[in-house]
Amino acid sequence: MARLLGGHPATLELPASVPRPIRALLNACLLPAIQRRADDAWQLFEDFHTILGRLYGPPQFRPFHMPVQS
């Protein structure tokens, strides 16, 4: 995820352009102490979608049109 956001794959450092709430959620997933990390993937998924909704609004359908080959 860090790499997809433009971060460094080895250090997992994220660029400053990543919003603070997303950065905080990802950092919480990478805590050194395993017992302090979230242990419910569905809750993380829900939290991530909540953050995305607050930052960017509700999801929108964007149709994808395949180019016609001749």
Indicate the domain borders of the chain.
21-56
Reply yes or no on whether the pLDDT at 16 is more than 80: yes
Q: Are 18 and 27 in contact (CB under 8 A)?
A: no
* pLDDT for position 54: 97
Cα distance between residue 38 and residue 24, in whole Å: 13
- Residue 54, number of CB atoms within 10 A of its CB: 10
* pLDDT for position 50: 96
Q: What is the average pLDDT across 36-52?
A: 93
pLDDT in tens, 23-41: 999 989 888 898 888 889 9
13 CA to centre of own chain = 14
